[in-house]
Amino acid sequence: MSKVEDALAELGLQVPEVAKPVAVYIPAVRSGNHIFTSGQLPMRSGELMVTGKVGGEVSEEEAVACARQCALNAIAAVKAEIGDLDLVKRVVKVVAFVASTPDFTGQPRVANGASELFGQAFGDAGVHARSAVGVPVLPLDSPVEVEIVVEV
């Protein structure tokens, strides 16, 4: 097991199987020294954790947990592409999309669910640039979607 997986295990987490894509794409692709993941939804055991809009049917706390699951799923996509998570030199960029009501402005707090997990899993290599974007709707009515770029 990698150091990253050991760090996740200390949090009571394990890298899941890569989620099956919901359309025609692959979970991650390598280009040179970078791995680009597709957008990862908060899937657990093949189902979304919750559905709906943050600030509406979905609480901010639920959305933070969803972002964390998206991050874990992104880590799984990276692992499937490179095999050993200890090959990750740095999480370079995180983009978090938050399907939210027009009056909800806490997208950065929701995205922290993903950002904090990357820091816990990768240590200093998990510190990254980030965008947190509010959107009207996401695939399958997911409240959160996260994509990442890592350097290997």
Tokens of 53: 């809009």
Q: Which residues are CB-neighbours of 130 under 8 A, at least 6 positions away?
A: 93, 94, 95, 96, 111, 115
Task: State the pLDDT at residue 100.
Answer: 98
What average pLDDT does range 124-132 have in this prediction? Answer: 98
Tell me whether residue 87 is exposed, middle or buried, using C-beta atoms within 10 angstroms of its C-beta: 0 to 12, 13 to 18, 19 or more. Answer: middle
Residues 36-44 have a mean pLDDT of 97
Mean pLDDT of the chain, nearest integer: 97
What local confidence, expressed as pLDDT, does residue 21 receive?
87
Query: Does position 19 have pLDDT exceeding 90, yes or no?
Result: no
Give the pairing type, strands 34-37 and 43-44: unpaired
Check pLDDT > 90 for residue 106. Answer: yes
CA–CA dist 144, 142 (Å, integer)? 6
Encoded tokens for 92: 């370079």
Residues 68-72, mean pLDDT to the nearest whole number = 98
Total-model pTM: 0.97
The mean per-residue pLDDT over the stretch 98-110 comes to 98
CATH architecture, domain 3-151: 2-Layer Sandwich (3.30)
Dihedral (C-alpha) 122, 83, 26, 141: value to the nearest 10 degrees?
-40
